[in-house]
Amino acid sequence: MIKLQRPWILGLGAASLVALGLSIIHLLNKEKAGFWPFLAILAIAGLAGATLTAQRAGEPVLIVNEGSRAHRTWQTAGWGIFAFFVVATPYLLDSFRVQQVNKSMYFAVAVLGVNLIIGYSGLISLGHGAFMGVGAFLSVILVEDYGFKLWQTLFVIIPLAFVIGLIVGIPALRIKGLYLALVTFALSYAFPTLLKIEGIDKRTGGDLGRNISLDKQVQPGRLKGLLGLNGLDAPAQEQIYKYWLMALVTGISFLLVRNIIKSRAGRAVIAIKENQIGAAVSGVPLTTYKVITFGISAVFASVGGWLYALLFSEANPNTFGPLLAISLLLALVLGGVYTLQGALVGSLLYVFLDDLRTRVTLTSVAGWRPSFFQIAEGSPLTQAVLGLVLILIAFFAPGGVVFIARKVRASLIRVIPTIPTADVVASAAVDSPMSEPEVATTH
Amino acid sequence: MSLLEVKDITVRFGGIVALNDLSFDLDEGQITALIGPNGAGKTTLFNVVSRIYEPTEGSITYDGQDLLAMPAHRICRVGIYRTFQNLALWPTMTVLENVMVGAFTSTKTSFPQAALRIMGARSEEKATKRRAYEVLEELDLADVAFHPATGLPFGTLKRIEIARAMIGKPRLLMLDEPASGLTHSEVDELSATIRGLRDRHNLSVLLVEHHMKMVMAISEQIVVLNFGQKIAEGTPSEVQKNEAVIEAYLGADAS
Amino acid sequence: MSLFLQRMIEGLSNGAMYGVVAVALVIIFKATTLINFAQGGLAMFGAYMANVFAIEQGLPLIVGILLGAAVMAVVASGIERVLVRPFDPANHLPVVLITFGIAYILQAVAAWKFGTEFKSFPSPFPSGPNDHIEIAGARLRYERLGVVLVLMIMVGLVHLILNKTKIGLAFRAVSSNTESAKLVGVKTGRTLNFGWALAAMFGGVAGGLVAHFTQLDSGFMDKILIFSFAAATLGGLDSINGAVIGGLIIGLVESPVQPMVRDYVPGFHFLTSDLALLVAFLLILAVLLVKPAGLFGTTRVERV
Ligand SMILES: Nc1ncnc2c1ncn2[C@@H]1O[C@H](COP(=O)(O)OP(=O)(O)O)[C@@H](O)[C@H]1O
Ligand SMILES: [Mg+2]
């Protein structure tokens, strides 16, 4: 049953992927551009060529039985490329760019929570910025005022975010329709004002926000040598150290969500989204499951907020308003609703796109300079780009980038699932999440 | 002994009386057919038993328990499973996964167990997958197991719904027009399948169907509805002779 | 007492503005079960247009506000036709993305074209220091009374349109059952398009009235939109009268009730007007918990 036609296509694909990743990293560093732009173009052409050739053949290049040696080799190669970039990225980028990657990670964990509710439960939430705020503020307050270590605050944040999620979710989720969107949108606006109430503002710092004082901030510790930080400048040390902490938490978060969605509980959640009545007659208690899922998604958002506090050592009420909630939504749909990898890919794309848009200056278009087209750096008009992206995605890429990547992969490989038998039961899922090498380099 | 007792059930939608004072008993181990022209209220009765519609009046007793006191998701816990006239499958999941959801009540993995893959979550997942595959094999659906539950022929999708119900080990199986869209030979196959399932799994079956040949061939008891009202009840031969039934079906497809 | 009466008129006039925007939300929700998150943005832009027509071009303010609202009605109609209609209304996410996208774009364009600083905006009613009537020592300002009057006119107008015009009747048919309306030959697309235009018109007029009290900037309708959500939820998301009454109730809670509680009930001194958003949020939660259909809304049976 194994079939491999024209293996060079796979080789070309893999090589292009690595080349693309490396050239993106170098271009981000704003070093002399050199031959990197050309390599990037070449790599994109290589990927497109491999995909098109494979698609023209009408059949995937590689057809394997699930769990067979060829399949495992493919998976190992994919994970290998992913692991290479995970390890190499912080050391190849300058510290400003590492900080952006770190930003993408706290974003990604929150987006993961948003995806649980929007992608997997089919319920629209616009309030996860507030849940991030819960995580960020509790971190700062507990560390500063109550002598917690940062990691200890998680034991307060996680249960509390869950309960707050229930409080917000229970009223909205008993009724069908856009009610959750409505409630959470109002929450996004109400949350910053709540933090500024007289009395509460003593803890939150009101409009000014709070910082974690220098001596309590996360500092590169004993692992310095192991992480190869000796000899680097202080900002690089700090960012790379935080990169590893955040990567650990992000990795665990993705693993937990993957386990949930590939389980009895996860299938029940998806069933509610796709056919509520079918789920009910199969025994799924609809409201309970929706509310619990919302609570869990609030927890991931709050952990995203905790990572925010870890990264920036501060929290300000105005950060966690409606704009943040919409940004989470934007990152989610950029990456891909209802896909696991979408949260990470979309967050990376969003963070870099948002950075790019604030630097854009447009003074002339092809030598023609009507005043209408002149955009100064940081012009408010650049915000329209985000709105435009939202609309374009709804029209042209409802599955986001990951959906496109999956199409590419499908033209390269088909995995024939193993029949579950009494003795050897292999995973029946054709898509084993996170096994795509594409994930590694899409930023 | 009657398993299900429907008593004086009335359902109104605004001005429409979908079911009017309907009463009948369903005997354990039998195949009972519920027939009647379109709009007679058959699906409405299914929805009342499933606790999707609230009846205006009446009571339903199942195995001595008051069904109307239970929420919708409890109904399958007491052993009542059903299929839908217009399908209620989950299109982004594979056929196998659809059937696995049917095992919801007979499995236990909770959110925390699932997230951490502890306390038997892994082995239960494996066992469920295996059971689902076996049910698919029993219903001749193994070759579509890994196909998404969409884009397949209507008849196949309806059989997938039967598989989803069967994995829950029903005591009472309610089938809403399982033969719609099938050819004559496929209808015969389906009749044999339903009978086989009944015999092997000690089922009671409540069948809504328009194919009279099939209904007459496999059911032991028939209840006839017209405009929400019961107009006849009895064995197939009794019902076939009934004046009111012939009247109601005049001009309707009775083949 | 006179202070109370004064605050009450203030509350009613604020409530009237929430009510008008809430009616706009309800018009669209009734017909499609969708929420237009760009409603505030459209109203904001309408107010800027009114500013252009009235202040820059020198037209009478009332004409300016109506023209601004009309422009936004045309824009909304275009949005519905091009960006919303291609999607299945049962699938909420795309429309949420699109309405947020539009809100972003409108805000960005307004900030870019009209500047980011607050602009003052006149009232179409006499608003000088002496423009008020005095009842029992309370000064009831014309600019406040006028807003309530406008609300009453608009509610009368919407009922007239929905009950007496052909397109209005078609709109009611589509709202109560899209499928049956289609069967009897109603052109649903065109009818919904009219709904969007009507809603934007309402929003635009509200924007032109609110701007006087809040000043003009690209985000000035955000807070109003949240209050309108609360108003519509309270009244029932599919009831136009409910939206109006909900708006008035919220206005009254905001103005006479809240300051009174703050001033006279011990321990509530933290209840400043900054908290209004939080109150609106809690109110939405409470309504959904206690009476999810709102005061005047209806719940529908879902067909299997
Ligand atoms: N949710 C509902 N709302 C309004 N009318 C309904 C609803 N469900 C069923 N009906 C009406 O009840 C009657 C019986 O329908 P149904 O039970 O589907 O008939 P059958 O399944 O026998 O063809 C029909 O007139 C139908 O229009
Ligand atoms: Mg029916």
Cα of B57 vs centre of ligand 1, distance in Å, is 17
The domains of chain C, with CATH numbers, are: 2-290 (1.10.3470)
User: Starting from the edge strand earliest in sequence, which strands make up the sheet with B229-234, in order?
Assistant: B80-82, B172-176, B204-208, B31-35, B221-226, B229-234
Per-residue pLDDT of chain C (304 residues; tens, 9 = 90+): 678 888 888 889 899 999 999 999 999 998 888 899 999 999 999 999 999 998 888 888 899 999 999 999 999 999 999 999 999 888 889 999 999 999 999 999 999 888 888 988 888 888 788 888 888 777 888 888 888 888 889 889 999 998 899 888 988 888 888 888 888 888 888 899 999 999 999 999 999 988 888 889 988 898 899 999 999 999 888 889 999 999 999 999 888 787 778 778 777 777 777 778 888 888 888 888 888 888 888 765 444 4
**Statement: residue B83 has pLDDT above 80:** yes
**What is the predicted pLDDT for the residue at C138?**
78
Q: What is the mean pLDDT of residues A246-254?
A: 94
Cα B63 to Cα A22: distance, rounded to the nearest angstrom = 68
Q: Write down the mean pLDDT value for chain A.
A: 84
Q: What is the mean pLDDT of residues B11-40?
A: 89
Question: Closest Cα of chain A to C145: distance in Å?
Answer: 29
Lowest mean pLDDT among A30-34, A350-354, B69-73: A30-34
Cα A308 to Cα A327: distance, rounded to the nearest angstrom = 15
C304 to chain B: which residues are within 8 Å by CB? 43, 47, 52-53, 84, 86, 88
* Nearest atom, ligand 1, residue C304 CA: 1
User: What's the predicted TM-score (pTM) here?
Assistant: 0.90
Among B52, B75, B82, B84, pick the best mutation site for testing chain C contact (most C Cβ within 10 A). B52
**Statement: residue A107 has pLDDT above 90:** yes
* B52 touches ligand 1 (CB under 6 Å): no
**What is the predicted pLDDT for the residue at A441?**
35
How does DSSP classify residue C82? I
- The Cβ-side half-sphere exposure at C5, using a 13 Å CA radius, reads 11
Higher pLDDT, A54 or B252: A54
CB neighbour burial string for A362-374, b if at least 16 within 10 angstroms, e if fewer: eeeeeeeeeeeee
Both structure tokens of C110 = 């307004």
Q: What is the DSSP string of A306-318?
A: HHHHHHHSEE-GG
**Statement: residue A7 has pLDDT above 90:** no
How does DSSP classify residue B66? E
Asked if B84 is an interface residue toward chain C (Cβ–Cβ < 8 A), one would say yes
**Statement: residue A221 has pLDDT above 70:** yes
Asked if B52 is an interface residue toward chain C (Cβ–Cβ < 8 A), one would say yes
**What is the predicted pLDDT for the residue at B251?**
52
Q: What is the mean pLDDT of residues B136-152?
A: 89
The domains of chain A, with CATH numbers, are: 95-356 (1.10.3470)
Higher pLDDT, B120 or A98: A98
Q: How confident is the model at residue A443 (pLDDT cuts 50, 70, 90)?
A: very low
Q: What is the mean pLDDT of residues B63-70?
A: 90
Q: What is the mean pLDDT of residues A99-123?
A: 93
A56 burial (CB, 10 Å; 0-12 / 13-18 / 19+) is exposed
**Statement: residue A162 has pLDDT above 90:** yes
- The Cβ-side half-sphere exposure at C92, using a 13 Å CA radius, reads 21
Residues 6+ apart with CB under 8 A from A271: A278, A279, A282, A284, B90, B93, B101
* Nearest atom, ligand 1, residue B45 CA: 17
Report which protein residue has its CA nearest ligand 1's atom 17: B41
**Statement: residue A427 has pLDDT above 70:** no
**What is the predicted pLDDT for the residue at A31?**
60
Region of residue B219 (phi > 0: left; psi between -120 and 50: alpha; otherwise: beta): beta
Query: Could you tell me if A183 and A168 are in contact, meaning their C-beta atoms sit under 8 angstroms apart?
Result: yes
What percent of chain A stands above pLDDT 70? 89
* B226 touches ligand 1 (CB under 6 Å): no
Q: Find the ligand nearest to B37 CA.
A: 1
What percent of chain A stands above pLDDT 90? 39
B52 to chain C: which residues are within 8 Å by CB? 304
Question: Closest Cα of chain C to A273: distance in Å?
Answer: 11
A417 to chain B: which residues are within 8 Å by CB? 145-146
Give the CA-trace dihedral at C222, C227, C229, C233, to 10 degrees: 170
User: What residues are neighbours of ligand 2 (ion), with CB under 5 Å?
Assistant: B 43, 85
Q: What is the mean pLDDT of residues A145-150?
A: 86
**What is the predicted pLDDT for the residue at C300?**
56
- Which residue in the set C97, C226, C302 is minimally distant from A394, CB to CB? C97
Report which protein residue has its CA nearest ligand 1's atom 4: B13
Q: What number is the ipTM of this complex? A: 0.91
**Statement: residue A430 has pLDDT above 50:** no
**Statement: residue A68 has pLDDT above 90:** no
Cα B4 to Cα B6: distance, rounded to the nearest angstrom = 6
**What is the predicted pLDDT for the residue at A268?**
94
CATH architecture of B2-79+170-254: 3-Layer(aba) Sandwich (3.40)
Binary contact (B47, C304; C-beta < 8 A): yes
Could you identify the residue written with the tokens 């003795």?
A: A423
Q: Helix, strand or coil for residue A356?
A: helix
Query: Could you tell me if A400 and A336 are in contact, meaning their C-beta atoms sit under 8 angstroms apart?
Result: yes
Q: Find the ligand nearest to B47 CA.
A: 1
**What is the predicted pLDDT for the residue at A188?**
92
Q: How confident is the model at residue A252 (pLDDT cuts 50, 70, 90)?
A: very high
**What is the predicted pLDDT for the residue at C193?**
92
Could you identify the residue written with the tokens 């025994």?
A: A283
Q: What is the mean pLDDT of residues B198-219?
A: 90
User: What tens digit of pLDDT does each residue of B161-172 get?
Assistant: 999 999 999 999
- The chains in contact with chain B, meaning 3 or more Cβ pairs closer than 8 Å, are A, C
